[in-house]
Amino acid sequence: MPNRLTISELTAKFARREVSARSATQACLDQVQRVDGRIRAFLSYDATDALAQADAADGALTGGATHADKPLLGVPIATKDVIAVKGQPLNCGSKILGKFVSPYDATVIEKLKAAGAIVFGRLNMDEFAMGSSTENSAFQVTRNPWDTARIPGGSSGGSAAAVVADECLAALGSDTGGSVRQPAALCGCVGLKPSYGRVSRYGLVAYASSLDQIGCLAKDVRDAATLLGVIAGHDSRDSTSVPQSVPNYAAGLTGDLKGLKLGLPKEYMVGGLDAEVKRAIEAAVQQLARLGAEIVEVSLPHTDYAIATYYIIATAEASANLARFDGIRYGLRVDGADPIELYARTRGAGFGAEVKRRIILGTYVLSSGYYDAYYLRAQKVRTLVRQDFLRAFEKVDALVTPTSPTAAFKIGEKADDPLQMYLADIFTISCNLVGNCGISIPCGFTGSQPSTINPHLRLPIGLQLLGKPFGERTILRIAHAYEQSTAWHKEKPSLLAPSP
Ligand code: GLN
């Protein structure tokens, strides 16, 4: 079953001509047919187009193309519904874009295609990437492959669920406050958020422009490194992308941690942290120490302010970015007697409750009289949060933390309580405020202790490593060494057992 392989396993099989790109793509499409009625990760996919890309890849392989030149040749990769793919629908999990079809490829998509990938499918997400559970999608609720009564995390919940359900080899997501790392943790795969400016945002529909980054969801750390190597780099079409050369990330996976110092933020291991998550993180830290890393305690004193700061800055930026959905330029239009009525009716009908809540909040914090009290103050606190991290990074090479305070919660459990939902991002959000990089990797399961309420329910737990700005090579190296010394990433949900 080629869809069950990692990218490195699949490309090795291509090289030996044991599998064709067409059969790998067909295996993913078959898996979507078989399991997506239960998982609901895909909003749509274009099988004809995917198989045509696969045939082109097989042609290139027969013609002698290698994975040294085209690292993703023949590899099926799916995309969150917020990244533009030419000729495919682009809805951002929202009704407001109507039947919009993207007229161009995002830079990351151009790069994936140039590397030979088969780009297929639109993956479900919280509307405009606002949420932590994918329940804010206007279309459907994606299920966690480990327990379909639970959320997959969000906002890239479709991306994480599709990777874990073997419906694609890897996926792209976007991370504004944790939306790649948190669903990766809750579904049990690898989620990498690159540093701000490492990956072009051209063709990523903007939510909060100073926080957004495109990231990778993959089955193991090596695949995440390969994918990052393909999508990273300067782009003249995104003025915030940084003109810095792209290292060979996969070559940096040495497997050892000698000489590395890791910081454990003391503010992170307290409060609302679930007992089973805490135990798994403590065990992972011990494992990192056994592998040769030195562990020291560090302090991030402004941690308590991160969520409030984020929700002022993110909503302010969102209120400006989402003004373009006006019923004139794109998609949905609900007519009115005059342009203002048309605008109000279109937005009233097209946006969901959470998006409206954030536009109202963002407009408020930017309005005259409140700008100084909220927005300007939040920017100052953002600087304090950044200074906490830069100070810690003077002493350590990376930070080690939980990704999420709890494992996956039940569908509906927090849907009516936005503040509870916002707390799900407590450990991931600062990374976006600072602009550094982070990765979540599997580090255990709930239900392994006899004292738990339901000992049979095994839900994945994620370990987060936070690196310096442009420190992707270091966190990938640490994540890979840990992963190779454990077997968590090899476990598959029982729902996916191949049919007899
Ligand atoms: N959960 C956070 C929010 O709702 C982060 C989302 C994201 O990273 N896109 O804004």
Can you tell me the distance from the alpha carbon of 320 to that of 323, in angstroms, rounded to the nearest whole number? 5
Catalytic residue among 132, 133, 137, 155: 155
Active site residue 440: no
For the question of residue 492 being annotated catalytic, the response is: no
Largest Cα–Cα distance in the chain? 70
What are 47's two structure tokens? Answer: 């099988």
2 C-alpha vs ligand 1 centroid, how far in Å? 33
State pLDDT tens for residues 22-31.
999 999 999 9
* CA 156 to centroid of ligand 1, rounded, Å: 9
Q: What is the pLDDT of residues 195-217, one digit of tens each?
A: 999 999 999 999 999 999 999 99
| Token pair of 489 as six digits | 């990433």
Distance 132 CA to ligand 1 centre (A): 6
pLDDT band at 451 (very low <50, low <70, confident <90, very high): very low
Distance, in Å, from the CA atom of 141 to the CA atom of 126, rounded to the nearest integer, reads: 9
Q: Atom 10 (ligand 1): residue with closest C-alpha?
A: 130
SS3 content of the chain, % helix, strand, coil (to 5): 40, 15, 45
Q: Which atom of ligand 1 is nearest to the CA of 314?
A: 10
Question: CB–CB of 173/190 below 8 Å?
Answer: no
Could you tell me the distance, in angstroms and rounded to a whole number, from the CA of residue 339 to the centre of ligand 1?
A: 32
Pocket test for ligand 1, best of 82, 92, 123, 176 (most atoms within 8 A of CB): 176
Sorted by sequence, the CB contacts under 8 Å of residue 147 that are 6+ apart come out as: 408, 457, 459
Of 80, 140, 144, the C-alpha closest to 112 is 80
The answer to whether 235 and 17 have CB atoms below 8 angstroms apart is no
Which stretch of 79-88, 127-136, 451-460 has the lowest confidence by average pLDDT? 451-460
Which residues is 400 bridged to in the sheet? 465
Q: Which residue of the set 8, 20, 70, 80 is catalytic? A: 80
Q: Which atom of ligand 1 is nearest to the CA of 429?
A: 5
Span 220-254, pLDDT tens digits: 999 999 999 999 999 999 999 999 999 999 999 99
Which residues lie across from 83 on neighbouring strands?
204
Atom of ligand 1 nearest to the CA of 432: 8
Please calculate the CA angle 415-273-418 and round it to the nearest 5 degrees.
20
* Mean pLDDT value across residues 314-341: 96
Q: How far is the CA of 22 from the centre of ligand 1 (A)?
A: 36
Identify the pLDDT of residue 397: 98
**Site residues for ligand 1, CB cut-off 6 Å:** 129-132, 155, 175-179, 207, 314, 425
Rounded distance between C-alpha atoms, residue 452 and residue 304, angstroms: 29
What is the Cα–Cα distance from 431 to 328, expressed in whole angstroms? 36
**How confident is the model over 64-79, as pLDDT tens digits?**
999 999 999 999 999 9
**Best substitution site from 132, 211, 213, 431 to test ligand 1's pocket, by max atoms within 8 Å of Cβ?**
132
Beta strands at 261-265 and 118-123: parallel, antiparallel or unpaired: unpaired
Confidence of residue 495 (pLDDT cuts 50, 70, 90): confident
Which ligand 1 atom is at minimum distance from the Cα of 129?
A: 9
Please list the alpha-helical segments (H only) found in 69-141: 107-114
**Ligand 1: distance of its center to the CA of 422 in Å?**
8
155 in active site:
yes
Q: Mean pLDDT, the chain, as a whole number?
A: 96
**pLDDT surpasses 80 at 138:** yes
Query: Residue 313 C-alpha to ligand 1 middle, in angstroms?
Result: 12
pLDDT in tens, 81-127: 999 999 999 999 999 999 999 999 999 999 999 999 999 999 999 99
Among 126, 127, 309, 354, the mutation site with the greatest number of ligand 1 atoms within 8 A of its Cβ is: 126
> SS3 for 127?
helix
Pocket test for ligand 1, best of 94, 156, 174, 179 (most atoms within 8 A of CB): 179
pLDDT of residue 264: 97
Selecting among 179, 200, 241, 404, the annotated active-site residue is: 179
CA-CA distances (angstroms) from residue 437 to 135, 155, 174, 200, 310?
26, 18, 13, 15, 17
300: confidence class by pLDDT, cuts 50, 70, 90 = very high
What percent of the chain clears pLDDT 90, i.e. is strictly above it? 93
Instruction: List, in sequence order, every residue forming a beta bridge with 445; answer none if it has no partner.
Output: 460
By the 8 A CB rule, do 359 and 322 touch? yes
The ligand 1 atom nearest the CA atom of 421:
1
Could you please report the per-residue DSSP string of 235-261?
-TT-TTS---PPP-TGGG--S--TT-E
Task: Give the position, in ligand 1's atom list, of the atom nearest the Cα of 311.
Answer: 10
Task: Determine the distance separating the centroid of ligand 1 and the alpha carbon of 284, expressed in angstroms.
Answer: 26
Query: 400 with 269: CB under 8 angstroms?
Result: no
